[in-house]
Structure 1
Amino acid sequence: MSEEQDLESQISDLSSDAGTTDTDSITDADTESEDELFAAGFVNAYQDEPIAMPGENELRAQEVDEDGILAATLDARLEGRIPLNDWCECNQCRTDFLLNAREYRCCWEVGPAIGKLQFDGSIEHTRCVTQHQDYIDLTKRVVLEQVGPLLRDKQGRAYRRRGQQDINEFRRAVAYRWLVRWMCGYLGWDHARPLPACVYNRVRTDFSPTGQARGYSSSQDRE
């Protein structure tokens, strides 16, 4: 090999080595720079990913109802993840007759109910709204049967026992509406609200259903 060819070969080898070294150096520098930026908070993981929107179930779980209770909390009570003793303050709530999550609340969580105990001072010796004298008087059989026709359904008709309707079913239906009016005043058909668990337990015990009782339903679902 001539001296000229040998010199060209050396230059070629140097160029090849230099190119490899430069490429590796640039890659390492870029990687180090990105790591430093990430550590410094200038680069966020998944920053270019679309924001995940909460699903329907997640949105419902975050809803707060008329008594300030989260839907997720009521669901947890229904499923037994929150035991009865953790949310019942009146010692009269039972879950045996409760039919949906909206019914899982104590009278101490329902402002209008506890207000009845506070208004006349009965809270000093009465733990539960079902022990209030007005409640006892309002839920007597003869009272419910006389009050029923004074109430009106969605069509404005007198609320009467119809057809083969079980008498206790009629009494329960009247009791629910009568007690809501006693606690909250007149709400109208478009503003239904659930009663406390202790009330459902007492009403469904006193006027036990012959079949499956119907649980709380919204104003849109009521007859």
Structure 2
Amino acid sequence: MNQEIINLLNDLKENPSTEKVDHIILLEKVYSKYSNGIKELEPIAHFYLNGFDDLPALKEKHLWNESKFYEIRKDFVNTHSELIQLIDSTISDMKCNESDYHQLTKVEFLEQLRSGKTIFEEIDLENMDLRNENLSGITFQNCFISADFRNSNLRGAKFIKSNIKTSDFRNADLTNGLMENVSFESTKFKGAKTNSFIFNDNYCHSVEGIGQTEFNDWVIEME
């Protein structure tokens, strides 16, 4: 499970009357991660959008009429118990969903690949070194991928409805490949071979609908 998200959610459980954390900034971060493909955060994103997106941040307190500031803050304090319930259920759901991903070691993954398997669904490749590997024709669907693919053969490879984080495709061969409906973040493509490579309807951070034009304009330059 993404520890950063768990820490973020636990910080949101801090009583707002203590003013130890700025809940609005934290809620904005949650919404950004939801927009970036972490769909388990949808209940909290809705909580934020259904009335608290205008809640003044603590750092902006001096810009607000003081009585109005405390009135809005009081409303938030009164609904904080609802937020805590949403957070607890969200963390529970994330733990259940996490169990749906089967984490493979590099040895296990390559053994399955060499035995002839080419379609991988709901697997977790975390911090995996796959440099210089022959992964041509492989399909990843609904997977979590954090891997180093530098100089690998990914001709005809497909990445569909997956989360691709802190991955490295520099100088990899992505010819005739496909990335579609994927969330990508801190991922590098500089120098990759991309002849007939299709990049369609993907998202990065809060930006959605990133396609071939954006890939050719700036994504390919990420390093």
The two structures have a TM-score, normalised by structure 1, of: 0.22
Between Structure 1 and Structure 2, the one with more strand by share is 2
Which one has more relative contact order, counting CA pairs under 8 Å at least 6 apart? 1
Between Structure 1 and Structure 2, the one with more helix by share is 1
Q: Which has the larger radius of gyration?
A: 1
The two structures have a TM-score, normalised by structure 2, of: 0.22
